[in-house]
C-alpha cells in the first residue's frame, strides 16, 4: 500500500509548474499555427492533436521515473540504441535515398531518435561515475561514446538528427569539465574552413567537384545556402520561398490564415520543416520575437533545473536536454531564414510529426524528474 501511495503521490507531483505552463502555451500556439498551415481541421490537424496527447502521456511517464533509475538503465539504453543503429545499417528500410527505419515485425522504429536521449544519458552516467578523477583520457572515451552513434546516423544519411545527437552529447562533455583551451584549436580550424568555403564557393560548388565526406545532396544544400539564386527553381527553391514568406510578414504580420505564400502553396513542407515561415508571415516580427522569448524561457528553465540538481548525473542530463531544445530551435529557424543549410530539423512543438514530439516529451519529462528529485538521506 505504501508503494502504491508513493507512486500516486509522485504521479500528481511530477510536473514542474513553470515548465508545464510554457509547454501548454507552446501546445496551443503549435496547434493554432498548424490549423492555419493545413487550412482547417483536416486529418493532419487531428493527427497532430493526437500526437500532442501522446507526447503529454510520455512526458508524464518520464517525469515519474526518478534519476537513480534513469542512471541505472542509461548504459543498457545506449547499447540497445547503438545495436539498433547497426541493424538499420544492415537491414534497414530505404526511403527517399535514406535508410533510417528498422522494421522489427511488431513495430517500425527510427533508432536515431532514441539516441537523442540515450547518448546524453550515457555520457551523463559516465561523467557521474568518474567525477572528481577526470583525465584527458576520460574525455577521449566520452568522445568515442558520442562518435559511434553520430557516425552511424551520418551514414544513413541523416545529418540533421546526427547534429542534434552531437549537440546534446557535446554539451554533456563540455559541462562535464572539458576545458575551452582544448576547444580553441578546433574553433580556429572550423572558422578557417568556413572562410575558405565562402571564398572559393564558385570553384568548389561546380558539379564535377566531389566532396569526399558529404553526399551530393548535402553538398548542394551547402552550396545553395551560399548562393540560393544559383538554382532558384530547383535546389534553391525552398530557401528562397521561405525567406520571401518571412520577409513579407513585416513587423506586424499579415494576420491569422492570411499568409499568401503559405496558402498559395509557395512554401514547401509548410507543415513540417518550414512551419516557421508560415508563422512569421502571419504574425510578423513581433510574433517571431514572442516565439523566441517562449523558447528562451524554456531553455532558461531547463538550465535552472540543471543548476539546482542534486547529482552530477542530473545536472549534466538536464543541461543536455535544455541545450538540445536550443539546438532544435537554432537549426530550424536558421535554415528557414537562410543562414544555415536545409537539414530537415523540425521546429519544437510547432512542426507536424509524432516522432519529434515524443522525443521532446521525453526530454521535458526528464527535466521534470530531475527538478523534483530529492535524495533520501540515510
List, for residues 244-298, the tens digit of each pLDDT value: 888 888 888 888 888 777 777 777 778 888 889 889 988 989 999 999 999 999 9
**pLDDT above 70 coverage of the chain, percent:** 83
The reply to whether 79 falls in a domain is yes
pLDDT in tens, 153-204: 888 778 788 888 998 899 999 888 877 777 777 778 777 777 776 666 676 7
The reply to whether 9 falls in a domain is no
Residue 363 predicted with pLDDT over 90:
yes
> Among 282, 284, 269, which residue's Cα sits nearest to residue 351?
269
**Per-residue pLDDT at 342:** 77
Grid cell digits, residue 193: 574552413
Residue 111 predicted with pLDDT over 90:
no
The reply to whether 122 falls in a domain is yes
**Per-residue pLDDT at 272:** 82
Indicate the SS3 state at residue 64.
coil
Measured CA distances, 117 to 74, 190, 317, 321, 371 (Å): 9, 27, 9, 8, 17
The reply to whether 377 falls in a domain is no
The reply to whether 66 falls in a domain is yes
**Per-residue pLDDT at 195:** 75
Pick from 74-78, 189-193, 374-378 the range whose average pLDDT is largest: 74-78
**Per-residue pLDDT at 361:** 92
Please give the tally of structural domains in the chain: 1
In this prediction, residue 225 has a pLDDT band, given cuts at 50, 70 and 90, of low
Residue 95 predicted with pLDDT over 70:
no
Determine the structural domain holding residue 183 and report its residue range. 14-372
Give the rounded distance of the alpha carbon of 96 from its chain centre. Answer: 21
pLDDT in tens, 295-339: 999 999 999 999 998 889 999 999 999 999 999 999 889 888 888
The reply to whether 182 falls in a domain is yes
Question: CA-to-CA distance for 257 and 20, rounded, in angstroms?
Answer: 28
Residue 125 predicted with pLDDT over 90:
yes
Evaluated on CA atoms 89, 93, 97, 98, the torsion sign reads: negative
Grid cell digits, residue 240: 528562397
The reply to whether 3 falls in a domain is no
Question: CA-to-CA distance for 61 and 160, rounded, in angstroms?
Answer: 27
* 156 neighbors 349 (Cβ within 8 angstroms): no
Grid cell digits, residue 269: 513542407
Round the CA-based radius of gyration of the chain to a whole number and report it: 21
Residue 5 predicted with pLDDT over 90:
no
Residue 378 predicted with pLDDT over 50:
no
The reply to whether 54 falls in a domain is yes
**Per-residue pLDDT at 376:** 63
* 146 neighbors 168 (Cβ within 8 angstroms): no
Q: What is the DSSP string of 87-141?
A: HHHHHPEEETTEEEEEE-SS-EE-HHHHHHHHHHHHHHHHHHHTTT---HHHHHH
User: Per DSSP, what are the bridge partners of residue 19?
Assistant: none
| Mean of pLDDT over the chain | 82
Amino acid at each position: 500500500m505504501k508503494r502504491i501511495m508513493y507512486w500516486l503521490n509522485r504521479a500528481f507531483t511530477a510536473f514542474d509548474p513553470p515548465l508545464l505552463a510554457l509547454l501548454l502555451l507552446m501546445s496551443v500556439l503549435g496547434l493554432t499555427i498548424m490549423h492555419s498551415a493545413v487550412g482547417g481541421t483536416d486529418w493532419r490537424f487531428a493527427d497532430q492533436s493526437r500526437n500532442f496527447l501522446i507526447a503529454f502521456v510520455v512526458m508524464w511517464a518520464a517525469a515519474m521515473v526518478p534519476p537513480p533509475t534513469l542512471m541505472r538503465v542509461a548504459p543498457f539504453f545506449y547499447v540497445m540504441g547503438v545495436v539498433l543503429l547497426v541493424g538499420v545499417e544492415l537491414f534497414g528500410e530505404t526511403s527517399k535515398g535514406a535508410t533510417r527505419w528498422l522494421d522489427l515485425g511488431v513495430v517500425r522504429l527510427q533508432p536515431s531518435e532514441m539516441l537523442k536521449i540515450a547518448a546524453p544519458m550515457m555520457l551523463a552516467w559516465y561523467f557521474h561515475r568518474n567525477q572528481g578523477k577526470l583525465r584527458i583520457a576520460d574525455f577521449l572515451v566520452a568522445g568515442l561514446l558520442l562518435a559511434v552513434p553520430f557516425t552511424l546516423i551520418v551514414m544513413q544519411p541523416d545529418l540533421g538528427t546526427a547534429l542534434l545527437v552531437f549537440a546534446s552529447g557535446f554539451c554533456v562533455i563540455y559541462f562535464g569539465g572539458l576545458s575551452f583551451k582544448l576547444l580553441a584549436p578546433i574553433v580556429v580550424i572550423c572558422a578557417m574552413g568556413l572562410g575558405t568555403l565562402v571564398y572559393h564557393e564558385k570553384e568548389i560548388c561546380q558539379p564535377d567537384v566531389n566532396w569526399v565526406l558529404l553526399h551530393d545532396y548535402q553538398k548542394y544544400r551547402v552550396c545553395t545556402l551560399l548562393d540560393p539564386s544559383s538554382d532558384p527553381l530547383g535546389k534553391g527553391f525552398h530557401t528562397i520561398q521561405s525567406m520571401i514568406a518571412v520577409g513579407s510578414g513585416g513587423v506586424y504580420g499579415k494576420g491569422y490564415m492570411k499568409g499568401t505564400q503559405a496558402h498559395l502553396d509557395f512554401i514547401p513542407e509548410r507543415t513540417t520543416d518550414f512551419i516557421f515561415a508560415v508563422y512569421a508571415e502571419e504574425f510578423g516580427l513581433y510574433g517571431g520575437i514572442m516565439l523566441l522569448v517562449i523558447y528562451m524561457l524554456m531553455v532558461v528553465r531547463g538550465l535552472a533545473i540543471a543548476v539546482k540538481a542534486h547529482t552530477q548525473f542530473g545536472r549534466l542530463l538536464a543541461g543536455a536536454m535544455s541545450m538540445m531544445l536550443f539546438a532544435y530551435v537554432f537549426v530550424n529557424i536558421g535554415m528557414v531564414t537562410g543562414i544555415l543549410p536545409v537539414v530537415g530539423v523540425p521546429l519544437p512543438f510547432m512542426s507536424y510529426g509524432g516522432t519529434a514530439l515524443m522525443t521532446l516529451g521525453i526530454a521535458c519529462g526528464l527535466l521534470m524528474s530531475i527538478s523534483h528529485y530529492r535524495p533520501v538521506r540515510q
